[in-house]
Amino acid sequence: MAHDELLQIYTPAGVPTGTFKQRGEVHRDGDWHGTVHLWVMNSSAELLFQRRSDSAELHPGLWDVSAAGHIVDDESPERSLEREALEELGIAIDAGDARWLFTLQTQMHTEHLHERVFQHIYLINKDIKTCELKPQRAEVAAVQWHRYALLGSLLEDSSGFVPRLDEYARLLDYLNNGGLP
């Protein structure tokens, strides 16, 4: 999670501009940029959640999507997906095995950060034991499987989890309507 990563600036409509800025400047200036979210689901219909490091810039110590991160330089979302899975969880994936589900346009403003982002949401089916994962301790404190139905509960009370209500609702809808392994 380098603050000097170069991020591509997007238009408010989500079109890459070919202009790049350092991550810290993007967050300071509120430029639109891209991220990827990877949800890992096993054959028991459980989703892998990670608990963010207590030193994370956003939402420290909260449970979150399996792996996530910025699209850096001129990477494709698919390449970023592969990189983030390897960096955060220690697993090599082929983005071709993941399904793009949807893209969310979100904004968040804090005292130190103005986050305006297009989040590209993917799902991959993968049976893996948590003991086989090698989480990046600087970013990931723990990993845990939960039945996907937990998403419904998070819509009512997301205490302890990153409040991604739109993402949880859309993922739950997808899984309930034929997206299960």
**Residue-range domains of the chain with CATH:** 6-179 (3.90.79.10)
The pLDDT, as a whole number, for residue 155 is: 96
pLDDT in tens, 140-158: 999 999 999 999 999 999 9
pLDDT at 147: 97
Which is more confidently placed, 118 or 110? 118
Q: How confident is the model at residue 180 (pLDDT cuts 50, 70, 90)?
A: confident
Q: Tens digits of per-residue pLDDT, 49-61?
A: 999 999 988 899 9
Confidence of residue 3 (pLDDT cuts 50, 70, 90): low
Find, among 88, 42, 96, the residue nearest to 65 by Cα. Answer: 88
Distance, CA of 92 to CA of 113 (rounded, Å): 31
Burial class from Cβ neighbours inside 10 Å (0-12, 13-18, 19+) for residue 164 reads buried
pLDDT digits (tens, 9 = 90+) for 126-141: 999 999 999 988 899 9
